[in-house]
Amino acid sequence: TVYLNNQKTKVNFFCGRLCYSCDIFVQAFFSQNLESFLEAQQRMFDYFKGIPNRLIFDNAKVAVSEGFGLHAKVTKGYKSFAAHYAFQTDFCNIASGNEKGLVENLVGYARRNFMVPVPRVKSLAEFNQKLRKDCLNYRGTHKVESRAGTVAETYNEECFYLKQIPAYRYDTSRKATPTVGDYSTVRFDRNDYSVPVKYLRKEVTVKGYANEVCIFHEGELIATFDRIYGIGKTEYRLEHYIDLLERKPRAVFQAKPVRQNITKELIDWGHLLLGGNKDMVKLLRLCVDHGEERILSIKDQL
């Protein structure tokens, strides 16, 4: 549990460890879906600056279609990922802590040392930056009792045996090709995201990563959002609707893209403008171009 932007939030954390040096890698994700599982390993390879010949997995249900241990059958999606990075997959048996003691210990270590007291951060990205610094500090200062050298010393030895990361980066996203709806939104994973109104009723490509959603039209990136987890939620961007509001200003004060993105202070200011709805739209255009915080700072100087 962490506080993200003052909201108490449950997150999942991924733990990886090198067997020889005992160097560690810890990152947090909103979900245990396949996108997060693949991205976590990709980040781990980047952090370790190489790929081990073999990965031993605990709690990898998202990568296994059926069975466990030696009898586990890997999903097609994960098989493709493993083939791209050319590593062997070994899956642990149920309730067999002896098969993955190093990472079992890391889970407890990370909870006690990285998540106590409860972290307070503005975003998951900020939390992951903190976790990365914690891992680097571990590498630089720690020594495992059963090892002859420090973690840093043995990691430098182990690096030599890690395989080089391919130049081409595997796309870990989950993809969909929806049509933009009447409200200039697209549906992905049971939630909606806005796009500029000029793409109304056009087909777009949505790539859902672990913590981000990217929307493309004919290969061009047209919108990026923090990924929403849940059901029936909608994320609007004011800049996607400002051109429409300039043509049709009547509903400006009731429009959801306005109410979701603009503070009550700015809306109250808009009600005082002599030009009514039209002046409010002009004010919103200034917010889109220069940022609401800057516009409100000018108001305070008046």
pLDDT the model gives residue 70: 61
pLDDT the model gives residue 76: 82
pLDDT the model gives residue 139: 95
The encoded tokens of residue 205 equal: 């490509």
Low-confidence ranges of the chain (pLDDT < 50): 95, 98-99
Rounded to whole angstroms, the Cα distance separating 21 from 154 reads: 5
pLDDT the model gives residue 69: 57
Residue indicated by tokens 């777009």: 204
Strand stretches in 117-265, DSSP E = 120-121, 174-176, 185-188, 191-194, 205-208, 212-217, 220-226, 234-235
Which contiguous run of DSSP H or E holds residue 108? Answer: helix 101-114
User: Checking DSSP bridges between strand 88-91 and strand 54-57, what pairing results, if any?
Assistant: parallel
Q: Measured over all CA atoms, what is the biggest interatomic distance in the chain, rounded to whole angstroms?
A: 77
Give tens-digit pLDDT for 220-270. 999 999 999 989 999 999 999 999 999 999 989 999 999 999 999 999 999
pLDDT the model gives residue 99: 46
At 273, phi and psi to the nearest 5? Answer: -70, 140
Residue indicated by tokens 């990365």: 132
Rounded to whole angstroms, the Cα distance separating 280 from 54 reads: 60
pLDDT the model gives residue 68: 62
